[in-house]
A and B are shown apart, each in its own frame.
Chain A
Amino acid sequence: MTTETNAKIEFTPERQVLAKEIIARYPEGKQKSALLPLLHLAQEQWGWTSPEVMDYVAGLLSIEPVEVYEVATFYTMFHLDPVGKHVIEYCRTGPCCLMGAEDVYAHLKQKLGIDAGQTTPDGKFTLKEVECLAACGMGPVFQIREQYYMHLTNQRVDEIIEELSK
């Protein structure tokens, strides 16, 4: 989903309240600590963290935009480009691979017709390869937003994709 460039970048009223609450959690003068929580909040609203969104967050915290760019590009969770409606973040690390993850992901890619880092033409799914999601005993694992999907098999993948395609 792309952010309309002419739309004003601003949190929804509820998120504005939440943002204020978050900023107030930290000691006086340490408001920069709110940066990661606010970036998560922003990504929740806009789907990705565009430069305009990052500039907006910088403004909320009275820091330089570059300080936000530095942080957003360091951490892997922030999408720096527009993404599909469902971002499937699949774990590619050792323990999941021991459980046959590579075959499952090959199936997933084939099913969606895209590779890691790509978005389906209908804008519904984006695939993202990530490292260990701390669910190694339940691998293979992927995550869509806050939801973990564990013990993945080809069949389970089909079910999940069909469910989300509706």
Chain B
Amino acid sequence: MGKKILLEHIDVPGIDTYDVYRKQGGYTAVEKALKTMTPDSVVEEVKKAGVRGRGGAGFPMGMKWSFLAKPEGVPRYLVCNADESEPGTFKDHYLMKHIPHLLIEGMIISSFALGANKSFIYVRGELMYVIRILEKAIAEAKAAGFLGKNIMGSGYDLELVVQPGGGAYICGEETALLESLEGKRGNPRNKPPFPAVKGLYQCPTVVNNVESISTTPWIVNNGGDAYAAIGIGRSTGTKLISASGHINKPGVYEIELGVSVEDFIYADEWCGGIRPGHKLKAVVAGGSSVPILPANLILNLANGDKRLMTYESLSDGGFATGTMLGSGGFIVMDETACVVRNTWNFSRFYHHESCGQCSPCREGTGWMEKVLHRIEHGHGSLHDIDLLVDVAKKIEGNTICPLGDAAAWPVGSAIRHFRDEFEWHIKHPVEATQPGAVYRGEMALV
């Protein structure tokens, strides 16, 4: 059994209510922080913990906090990014739905550390029912004196606002989220300036993911060093992994960073193996945007060592043989999955979700989708494959925000590792377009 930090009490009946959460030790971290610590010492603990942003980018949270500008007389904001929309990722949804108070407690601690008196939780609009759960939890926390003016006599004021999105993946990008929160279209901003200097309402702002913020109560209670002791190297602590696809037990799992990919897929504690009678073909390990890897490369590094569920191990080998931990959206495919169809599907997603602001992404995502659609539907030609690689390359790195990269990587990696499958689709259009037809050529299944 691995250490549980976020989901320790997930099975306690009524954990979504204040009373039960409190009985399980909830809000003791708020008491500790506000009564015995200074904002700076909270920041220090989070830095020591080495938590890396759990939304996908993996940027050290403590460092992000320490970048926050603190000009005199200007309000500072903390905004929680609960716009979880990356295909394959549903951990924040799960966490907020089941233990809303954990996020609220984390928001109070984080806001205190950053000196924010009004903080926002931006939840994707589709999760309106979760918004209602959070609003109820906020009302309970307020009634218990953990929100509002002069919290527990500490002199610290905090108000939490839950903001619904309107249906736009791009608002998971932090500056698009801020634009959206200001009541505008979710167009990512040009950077610099970064939100730490000019964020919400042009004031210094920190944007953190739900899971990141939810680690702070444990860190305050147990210390940053204790958190850093979990995991391996720079991948400290635990991570929520959203497991989906062709596995026996899809769901959200909290793992100590450092378990092997093989154990994660096959152990009963987690995914419980590939569904009966099938074999592992490929995995998209960190949400739809990260490179897809074939079975042998997701289980093992290029040198034959076991690949681990850490930021470093998953990215070992660069994009040639590696991928990324990303948001932890772990999508497993067995041999019945068609990589071409799946790539087209993801490509359609990014095409649909591009904000349309900058030209490489606006035009390039649509172009890739159309070409992939053609290949999938039996109208491709062999030069389309190289065309896709080139278009992806021309988008990557040239856009305002990372959506361009997110759209380019799945296409580039699918062709890198499954080129034969693309060629088969093109050379055998009749066969390939039969319902349920899947490439059965040479490939390593595990």
The interface of chain A, by Cβ under 8 A from chain B, is 25-27, 30, 32-37, 39-40, 61, 63, 67, 70-72, 74-78, 89, 92-95, 97-99, 130-139, 143, 145-148
Give a binary string over B6-45; 1 marks a CB under 8 Å from any A CB, 0 the rest. Answer: 0000000000000000000000000000000000000000
- Which of B126, B164, B244, B353 lies in contact with A36, CB distance below 8 A? B164
On chain B, the number of residues with a Cβ less than 8 Å from chain A's Cβ atoms is: 56
- Which of A33, A71, A137 lies in contact with B242, CB distance below 8 A? A137
- A94 near B88 with CB under 8 A, answer yes
Q: Does B221 contact A (CB under 8 A)?
A: no
Q: Given A35-B183, A78-B166, A98-B337, is A134 in contact with B244 using a C-beta cutoff of 8 Å?
A: no
- A77 near B345 with CB under 8 A, answer no
For the complex of A and B, the 8 pairs showing the least CB-CB separation, nearest first, are A75-B166, A32-B183, A77-B167, A137-B250, A76-B167, A35-B183, A136-B244, A74-B185
Complex alpha-carbon distance, A23 and B82, angstroms: 21
Query: B284 to chain A: which residues have CB within 8 Å?
Result: 94
Query: B433 to chain A: which residues have CB within 8 Å?
Result: none
With A36-B183, A134-B85, A138-B250 already in contact, 15 other A-B pairs whose C-beta atoms are closer than 8 Å:
A27-B201, A33-B181, A39-B166, A71-B185, A75-B186, A76-B167, A93-B346, A94-B87, A97-B345, A98-B245, A98-B342, A131-B353, A132-B169, A135-B93, A138-B90
- A93 near B87 with CB under 8 A, answer yes
Complex alpha-carbon distance, A61 and B129, angstroms: 25
- B244 near A32 with CB under 8 A, answer no
Query: B167 to chain A: which residues have CB within 8 Å?
Result: 75-78, 130
Q: Does B124 contact A (CB under 8 A)?
A: yes
Q: Given A27-B118, A36-B180, A94-B288, is A134 in contact with B166 using a C-beta cutoff of 8 Å?
A: no
Query: A26 to chain B: which residues have CB within 8 Å?
Result: 161
- Which of B85, B163, B186, B329 lies in contact with A74, CB distance below 8 A? B186
Complex alpha-carbon distance, A78 and B125, angstroms: 10
- A134 near B124 with CB under 8 A, answer yes
Chain A's nearest CB lies how many Å from the CB of B163? 7
- B331 near A95 with CB under 8 A, answer yes
- A94 near B250 with CB under 8 A, answer no
- B349 near A131 with CB under 8 A, answer yes
Complex alpha-carbon distance, A139 and B186, angstroms: 27
Q: Given A27-B118, A76-B167, is A139 in contact with B244 using a C-beta cutoff of 8 Å?
A: yes
Give a binary string over B266-287; 1 marks a CB under 8 Å from any A CB, 0 the rest. Answer: 0000000000000000001000
Q: From A68, which residue of chain B is reached at the shortest CB distance?
A: B183
Chain B's nearest CB lies how many Å from the CB of A35? 4
Complex alpha-carbon distance, A94 and B350, angstroms: 12
Number of A-B residue pairs having CB atoms within 8 Å of each other in the complex: 147
Query: A145 to chain B: which residues have CB within 8 Å?
Result: 128
Q: Does B420 contact A (CB under 8 A)?
A: no
- B166 near A71 with CB under 8 A, answer yes
Query: A99 to chain B: which residues have CB within 8 Å?
Result: 244-245
- B169 near A95 with CB under 8 A, answer no
Q: From A39, which residue of chain B is reached at the shortest CB distance?
A: B166
- Which of B182, B244, B331, B342 lies in contact with A30, CB distance below 8 A? B182
- B86 near A132 with CB under 8 A, answer yes
Query: A146 to chain B: which residues have CB within 8 Å?
Result: 128-129, 132
Chain B's nearest CB lies how many Å from the CB of A96? 9
Chain A's nearest CB lies how many Å from the CB of B103? 15
- Which of B168, B182, B245, B251 lies in contact with A33, CB distance below 8 A? B182
Chain A's nearest CB lies how many Å from the CB of B142? 14
Complex alpha-carbon distance, A108 and B322, angstroms: 39
Q: Given A93-B345, A134-B89, A136-B244, is A76 in contact with B183 using a C-beta cutoff of 8 Å?
A: no
Q: Does B352 contact A (CB under 8 A)?
A: yes
Chain A's nearest CB lies how many Å from the CB of B149? 16
- A136 near B125 with CB under 8 A, answer no
Complex alpha-carbon distance, A33 and B178, angstroms: 10
